[in-house]
Amino acid sequence: MLFTIISANTFESHKEIRLAIRLLNLLAPATILFIAVVLLIDPVSQLSAANKTSLGQLPYALALVVALLAYGFNRNQILFATLNLISAYLMIQLGLQVSLDQPNAYVLFSILSILLPINITFIATYSERGLFTPLGLTRLAGVLIGYLLLGLLWSNGALATQLPNLPTNMFEMFFAERFLSNMSAVFYGVALLTTLIYFVTQRGHGSAGVLISLVASLFMFIWFDLPNVSTLLVTAALIAMGIAVLQSSHKMAYLDELTEIPARRALQDKLATLGKRYTLAMVDIDHFKKFNDTYGHDIGDQVLRMVAAKLASVSGGGKAYRYGGEEFTLVFPGKDEAQALPFIEQLRELIANYPLYIRGDQRPEDEKRGAQMRKQKETSDHTNVTISIGVCEKTDEYLDASEVMKQADKSLYEAKNNGRNQSVAAHYKPETPKRRRTRKDYV
């Protein structure tokens, strides 16, 4: 039977809030840059002709940098989105610096405003499969071939002859006094819906980059009559996509992919910045191998994510890191063992009292129905995960953080040997609270 773990309290509202914050963080740089574009349109229009020419070359340099970054970090979605956007920009600079009253220019504009969102729709669905593979090269050709053919027809003046053959919805504007036809609006609507679906479900920097390029190109066509709008919007989009590549590479290096908390590399950087007073806690999931063997590795991964989420909620100024396997590390800067232990114990009890219900593949699809069924479960249908914790503070006897961590590890093994599901500090030994005397003690 395929098992999965669900908690008694799902905290759906908290998940939705975290999801919204994460999505907003992905788009924050682009939002700031697009606001800057709106503010810069008038000042840029007052630049000299030479400065405007130099500014017009900036997107090409940015596109080269972003493309190299995307290729180097295997972010092919952003690579394809960059090539798609810069190819459209090149066509605009070559063929659309004249009045759209000219047939050749109008047909070029109309086809370009359809080709760009079509490409984005396909790019949004791409997964990372490598560039120099049959599939990767096919995708690359699919992005570029349309622009190559369009450029060839434009250079020969053949587009003007197709003006009488254009459908009427390429002449009718979707917005009054704006340069976006009804047909283009339909393709942009499909592209926007597709891109948003993948952005919300994947929540990755690649899908964010595709969405950024889509929004930039959409407003580029809507505001096409504004001076230098294509240069400013493409520049902003490329900068935002470059930031997305760098954020993605940082995430790969510093965040654990499974648990989405800081990884061991981030821990090493943190340890190097600690002062003379801090406490480290080494955390290990009790009987994790047995749990893995009983329920399977997929369920084991869910346990790791659950424990990581609880540890990440640590208060008292602490921060959680995944050390490796089923081990985690808590760092409390500026605190000794006595100050950190209450927060550590709070986490240990929180995890130990967190019921994990096992359910099979006959579970209902409806979440409310599933919640009702879980309330009717017997206590034997759920299990609990516990953790053991070793704690050590920085004292003069330890030269650096590595020695503090070794001592915390020794305390962790002591906690394991003492029966697990407990915290053991290397120095601080809290007294067992004495029971208050009652009347019976004097009888």
Is 282 exposed, middle or buried (CB count within 10 Å of its CB: 0-12, 13-18, 19+)? buried
Residue 322: closest CA among 273, 267, 389, 386: 267
Specify the pairing of strand 356-359 against strand 382-383.
Answer: antiparallel
- Alpha-carbon distance values, 71 to 59, 64, 76, 83, 365 (Å): 18, 11, 6, 12, 40
Q: What is the DSSP string of 40-58?
A: HHHHHHTS-HHHHHHHHHH
Total residues belonging to the chain:
443
Residue whose pair of structure tokens reads 């915390």 in the numeric block: 408
The single residue of 16, 260, 326, 337 carrying the catalytic annotation is 326
Two structure tokens written together for 348? 């240990």
- Give 367's Cβ-side CA count (13 Å radius): 7
Please report, to the nearest 10 degrees, the dihedral formed by the alpha carbons of residues 230, 233, 234, 237 taken in order.
-170
Please report, to the nearest 10 degrees, the dihedral formed by the alpha carbons of residues 242, 248, 253, 259 taken in order.
170
d(Cα 186, Cα 113) in Å, to the nearest integer? 11
- Phi–psi pair at 189, nearest 5 degrees: -65, -45
Residue 140: closest CA among 80, 64, 211, 68: 80
For residues 408-420, one letter each, b for 16 or more C-beta atoms within 10 angstroms of the residue's C-beta and e for the rest, the string is bbebbeebbeeee
326 is catalytic: yes
Residues 6+ apart with CB under 8 A from 50: none
Strand partners, 383: 356
Residues known to be catalytic: 326
